[in-house]
Amino acid sequence: MNLNRTWLYSQFELTRLFATKRGWLAVTAFSLVWFMVLRYPIYNAVPFLNSSEFEGFVSQLAGTVGLYNLVSWPEAELAIFWVIALFTFPMFSVFVTADQTVEDRNRGTVRFLTLRSTRFELLLGRFFGQVLILAALIGLVCVATLAMMGMRELDLVSSGLPKTLAIWAKLLITCLPFIALMSLLNLVTNSARMSIVFAILFFTIIASVITYIGDVYPMFAFLNYVIPGHHIADVTGWQNNSNLSLLIPIIQAIALLGVSQFILRERDL
């Protein structure tokens, strides 16, 4: 595998978002949506979370759902952002990364590319390109959240910075198997839209069946590890021992890319 060619593919993906009008429109729309989320749900929830009046109730509620550590954060904006982002970014990444190779394959553009690089370099380069795009978008919202918190209380920025970095990294790692799943679905469907449909079917029907089988027959509970996002419940509460769970999405992403590579190697273009 040639790393230079792989990196060239990743760079080209970045220009798709940041060097085209369509890309900038998408970034603008994304920013506006998150502006609304920060301005209303998060901004308005912070006083409630910090209020001494509701402290007992909030702690009790948070403790029930395993978020006790989070409500103790003085950086309340980051805590709320973390919970919202953890459940929205994975599905958002499914939509953003829905076209990695499928449209190029339909158009025949892949034929020009595979005369100049291996199929695996194309697959991996496009995957990392999407990871970089997600990293940029998540980073953008993280910085915005940090800025909003700094406007409320500037002293919290220094203690919030490491937490922001950790949130950025954990969110990105969480998104990895979702991006890799779209890499795979791009190879077995004929359009980006069909890839999204298949992803939705996977997360509704197949994931439900797997969860049901795991519940009824505990010996098959390990199958849950196949589902991207399975670790989310483990990391939501920011427990001290939860970082090990972040290995799950990394392994899932590697496995999905492995399957994708096998399919791409064998399939006709």
Partner 1 sequence: MNTVIEVNALAKNFGSKRALSDVNFKIEQGNTVALVGPNGAGKTTLFSIICGYLKPNSGTVNILGHDPRSAPLFNKLSALPQDAQLDPKFSVEKQLRFFAQLQGMDKKTALADTQRVLELVDLSQVAQSKTSELSHGMRKRVCIAQALLGSPEIVLLDEATAGLDPKNAKAIRNLIASLKGQITFILSSHDLSELERLCDTVLYLEQGKLSSHQSDLHQTQQGSYITLQMLNLNDEMSQKIAQLKGVTNVKQTQSDELVIEYTEYSEPLDLSLLTLIHKNQWTYKQIVNGRTLENQLFVD
Residues that bind partner 1 (CB under 8 A): 2, 5, 8, 12, 15-16, 20, 22, 104, 107-109, 111-119, 266, 268-269
- Tell me which residue of 67, 81, 239, 83 sits closest to 59, measured CA to CA: 67
The distance of closest approach from Cβ of residue 99 to partner 1 in the complex, given in angstroms and rounded to an integer, is 11
How far is residue 181's CA from residue 201's CA, in Å, rounded to a whole number? 13
Taking the least distance from each CB to partner 1, the nearer of 1 and 244 is 1
Taking the least distance from each CB to partner 1, the nearer of 1 and 136 is 1
The distance of closest approach from Cβ of residue 151 to partner 1 in the complex, given in angstroms and rounded to an integer, is 38
The distance of closest approach from Cβ of residue 12 to partner 1 in the complex, given in angstroms and rounded to an integer, is 6
Taking the least distance from each CB to partner 1, the nearer of 119 and 231 is 119
Contacts of 156 (CB under 8 A, 6+ apart): 74, 75, 149, 150
Taking the least distance from each CB to partner 1, the nearer of 115 and 219 is 115
Taking the least distance from each CB to partner 1, the nearer of 155 and 266 is 266
Query: CB of 119 within 8 A of CB of 12?
Result: no
Q: Decide: helix, strand or coil at residue 35.
A: helix
The distance of closest approach from Cβ of residue 33 to partner 1 in the complex, given in angstroms and rounded to an integer, is 23
Query: CB of 66 within 8 A of CB of 86?
Result: no
Helix 247-266 with 156-188: angle, nearest 10 deg: 30
The distance of closest approach from Cβ of residue 111 to partner 1 in the complex, given in angstroms and rounded to an integer, is 4
Helix 76-96 with 156-188: angle, nearest 10 deg: 20
